A and B are shown apart, each in its own frame.
Chain A
Amino acid sequence: MSDPANTPEKAEKISLPIIGEVSRRTVLKGIGATLGLGAFAAAIAPLTQFKDQTSLNEFLQQHYKELDDEDKKQIFARLEEEARENYGADVKIRDPKPIPGVRYGYAINLSLCNGNGKCAEACHRENNHDRAVNQSYIRIFEMPKGTSDMEQGSTTYDHAVPQPDKYYLPVQCFQCENPPCVEVCPVEATWQEADGIVVVDYNWCIGCRYCQAACPYHARRFNWRAPEIPAEEVNPDQGYLSNRIRPQGVVEKCHFCMHRTREGKLPACLEACPTGARIFGNLLDPNSEISWVLKNKRCFVLKEELGAKPTLYYFFN
């Protein structure tokens, strides 16, 4: 280590206006620092574009549970405006609340499901998924008969269905009673609603993807970029916690079409199913069809040993 008091540069003085006499080394340091700052400014230049994408109101927006009705009105108006600007679509964003005394359950009859994929397509359209990557909350496994080893299943089959030696297993979020994805979220951006649906506040999620690591069922999706949807294909009937167009960089998941089901309609995937394999309803109502299935059919869930307690069941006739 050199002793700064005796550096040879001390002798070489340069005279500058205003500042006076400075050492050559100081001048060089100043030039170096200026160049460094300039290079830094150039390096972060793309951020100016990001600034245009994100408004101050969006930046300051509070967590869903801290918003009152007036806040929500303004936020929904802003999001509708953004949908107009970015997608050219006139959308309406609502916030349907859970219905008291309702806890949703879903059951899929694997004897009927023939892998036609209409459910996944309906989900894709209903929930404003990215067209380019053909995203959907539902994936269908084509499984060889005689095994339940999913490693042997295929989600990318492209041929006539059903194949005689195969059976079909659609998977989506199981809306677990004890969801492992919720407890890991560091910012409470995802939680379970009173009717059992696990939701995400897309404007609060920081995109750490810990929930994706925690979910045992590959139910969560990340917006690796902003979704692309042609204006005429945007579903304008949107829920804040459900199918509104998601921002880039946040996690999303199946929400049992809560903007429909909380208003008495059926999930889009069920409505689209031509085989009648899907049964949806209120688990708390002993007279509902779903309750009848759970009482009378041999039902099972995936990976029961993990204790997450899915509320989407499978059964065979």
Chain B
Amino acid sequence: MSHAETTPIENEERPSHWVSYPSFLWQSLVMATDGSLAFYAWMTFLTAVSLVGVHAWTQQVTGGMIQTNMTDHVSWGLYIANFTFGVGLAAGGVMMVIPAYLYHNRKMHDVVILGELLAIAAIVICLLFVIGDLGRPDRFWHLIPGIGRFNFPMSMLTWDVIVLNGYLLINLHICGYLLYMRYLGQTPNPAWYLPFVFLSIAWAISIHTVTAFLYQGLGGRPFWNSALLAPRFLASAFVSGPSFLVVTMILLRWLGKVPIPRDPIRTLVEIIRVAILINLLMVASELFTEFYTGAAHSKHAYYLFFGLHGHYALVPWIWSSMALNLIAAALFLHPSAMRNMTLLVVACSAAFVGIWIEKGMGLIIPGFVPSTLDQLVEYQPSLLEWQVSAGIWAFGLMVYTVALKIAIPVMRGEVNFAEHSESR
């Protein structure tokens, strides 16, 4: 694969990477910007929402975070909630990789790149939410090892910086390499990607574990200081990630007329069936401890589920989340979930939204309410926070759309180097 063994351009079997890689990038750009009217409408919509987010964020940076509704009592809000959920989404993509590579599921192998690309888009979302939450994004370089001062290994946030960026790079490498080889019409060399695939499996577990440890390690926040937090994070990630992927595959079948087989969808549904029950079991176990014991530290859970002293902001949200999770579990377990795609989209959406609430606001905000010295200050995101958050999600969806737009034709062999080098 090295450039040393470059062969003449005339030899179409082994073109120089100096020629074929720019061609690959150029064709990627063409594929990413070509499409139907619906595609342009979708991308224009996402661009518009992203720009609203960018504008809101620049206002926040300039005028201060006073424009958010966060306070010294509730010092993390919608951004960190979305960040946490996004990490789960990124980790959840691994549930395609495990069947494809550990269990040699052929059909899953053909579509596994959808999961790997989701990991990339979700990590981009996570990193943007972290930057959005910083009071001084201009000092971002203080976090770069070598140039700044990286408080490793003491601060769990530095661990998170490492695992998130590492996960991004691993998946960029795997996807980039496989797509490029496919574009060249060559068989990928396992030595160049298989070790990274196995690394990415362990790494996927690590990103959500480390993110849970961020909260779990804080002795002063009893709502988070539970050994069950990391396993709960993983269980819910293995519902939200696969749910997103199932919907993506069904939409690709419906809208994009991409012939995605049913088998990978069935495999993912089987995984979701197990994960959603484990998640619910752990939620029940935590709630039993909180409410049966009734000790002082359960006031956060009381606030979340029943409200405290006339403060109820999160109560409707968490019960919606519980209802959505239970409905999703029932739908997934129903035998027709394997056949009925419409039902599956409903089940996946319910699970996705249910976990977004539970692993987002439902996890972060009660950690701060009541505050460490027991004051009840509630939090509801400001319009600006919603704008920034919507912008980041739109940008992430744009990344995923573009990635699919490139990956699908390349993986199906519709766009390749041989054709484009001839046409020149």
Contacts and interface: CB of A to CB of B under 8 A. Distances in A.
Interface of A: 1-5, 7, 25, 29, 32, 36, 39-40, 42-47, 49-50, 53-54, 59, 63, 139, 141, 149-151, 153, 155, 171, 180, 183-189, 204-210, 212-218, 220-226, 247-251, 303, 306-308
Given A25-B34, A44-B55, A187-B151, A226 B75 contact: no
Contacts of B54: 40, 43-44
A215 B219 contact: no
Best-buried of A44, A47, A208 by chain B (most CB within 10 Å) = A208
Given A1-B258, A250-B135, A307 B64 contact: no
B418 interface: no
B7 interface: no
Nearest to B257: A1
Given A1-B409, A184-B156, A213-B221, A43 B72 contact: no
Contacts, number: 197
B62 A5 contact: no
A183 B64 contact: no
24 contacts: A25-B34, A39-B51, A43-B52, A43-B55, A44-B54, A46-B58, A49-B62, A50-B62, A63-B148, A63-B149, A150-B373, A150-B374, A184-B154, A204-B142, A205-B139, A206-B135, A206-B139, A208-B134, A210-B155, A214-B221, A225-B66, A226-B64, A249-B135, A308-B219
Interface stretch (B267-275, B347-355, B364-372): B364-372
A46 B161 contact: no
A2 to B, nearest CB: 8
A185 B151 contact: yes
B136 A207 contact: yes
Contact of A216 (B138, B155, B220, B414): B220
Interface residues of B, number: 76
B11 interface: no
A180 B55 contact: no
Contacts of A208: 130, 133-135, 157
Contacts of A204: 139, 142, 149
B45 to A, nearest CB: 13
Given A43-B51, A186-B161, A50 B75 contact: no
Given A44-B58, A224-B65, A225-B66, A212 B31 contact: no
Interface of B: 30-31, 33-36, 40, 47-48, 51-52, 54-55, 58-59, 61-66, 68, 70-73, 75-76, 130, 133-140, 142-143, 148-151, 154-158, 161, 214-215, 218-221, 256-258, 296, 299, 367-368, 370-376, 408-409, 412, 414-415, 419, 423
Best-buried of A50, A139, A217 by chain B (most CB within 10 Å) = A50
Contact of B372 (A63, A149, A215, A225): A215
B399 to A, nearest CB: 15
Given A216-B220, A218-B73, A303-B220, A155 B66 contact: no
Q: State the 7 A-B residue pairs at the shortest beta-carbon distance, nearest first.
A: A207-B135, A216-B220, A249-B135, A225-B64, A186-B157, A151-B374, A43-B55
Contacts of B40: 32
Nearest to B73: A218
Contacts of B415: 4
A307 B218 CA distance: 12
A186 B151 contact: yes
Contacts of A189: 142, 149
Nearest to B373: A218
Given A40-B51, A209-B76, A187 B135 contact: no
A224 B64 contact: yes
A63 B148 CA distance: 8
Given A184-B156, A213-B367, 4 more contacts: A2-B35, A46-B62, A151-B376, A184-B154
A51 B130 CA distance: 21
Given A208-B157, A222-B65, A224-B65, A50 B220 contact: no
Contacts of B219: 180, 216, 306-308
Contacts of A180: 218-220
A44 B54 CA distance: 7
Given A183-B155, A186-B143, A222 B149 contact: no
Contacts of B52: 43
A248 B60 CA distance: 11
B55 A224 contact: no
Contacts of B72: 212, 218, 220-222
Contacts of A171: 373
A217 B136 contact: no
A187 B33 contact: no
A205 B161 CA distance: 16
Best-buried of B33, B156, B218 by chain A (most CB within 10 Å) = B218
